[in-house]
Amino acid sequence: EAQVTQNPRYLITVTGKKLTVTCSQNMNHEYMSWYRQDPGLGLRQIYYSMNVEVTDKGDVPEGYKVSRKEKRNFPLILESPSPNQTSLYFCASSLSTGVWDEQYFGPGTRLTVT
């Protein structure tokens, strides 16, 4: 089944404890992206990747890192999480970087930082 998977789905952690949220897609998609969803703000892009070893900042990159060593994986790293990073996170992928391409979203990771 074609899908984007994320792990974990739920995570509660404490301020400053490094964590990684994994994202994997099995559709051989070129483009991958991370968004965060906050009430009243919709989704905002954190980072994106147009191909292996090519990543760039989105609108809200502060406090996050990413890597794209393999085409299928695009982990999101929080080196020192803070409470303002409590949010619902979505990974997405699309076949190419054409602006008309549908993006496929993972099921989301709900992160709480205390």
Partner 1 sequence: GNSVTQMEGPVTLSEEAFLTINCTYTATGYPSLFWYVQYPGEGLQLLLKATKADDKGSNKGFEATYRKETTSFHLEKGSVQVSDSAVYFCALSDLGGAQKLVFGQGTRLTINP
16 in contact with partner 1 (CB under 8 A): no
d(CA 30, CA 51): 5
Residue 43 CB partners (closer than 8 Å, separation 6+): 35, 36, 37, 90
What span, in angstroms and rounded, lies between the C-alpha atoms of 76 and 26? 18
Out of 2, 20, 56, 82, name the contact with partner 1 by CB under 8 A: 56
Residues near 60 by beta carbon (within 8 Å), at least 6 away in sequence: 36, 44, 45, 46
Using CB under 8 A, which of 19, 44, 65, 77 touches partner 1? Answer: 44
Under the binding rule (CB under 8 A), the answer on residue 50 touching partner 1 is yes
15: which 2 tokens?
Answer: 């301020």
| The one among 45, 67, 86, 112 contacting partner 1 by CB under 8 A | 45
In whole angstroms, the minimum distance from the beta carbon of 20 to partner 1 comes to 19
| Segment near partner 1 (CB under 8 A); pick from 21-29, 65-73, 79-87, 98-106 | 98-106
Pick the stretch among 10-18, 36-44, 63-71, 74-82 that binds partner 1 (CB under 8 A): 36-44
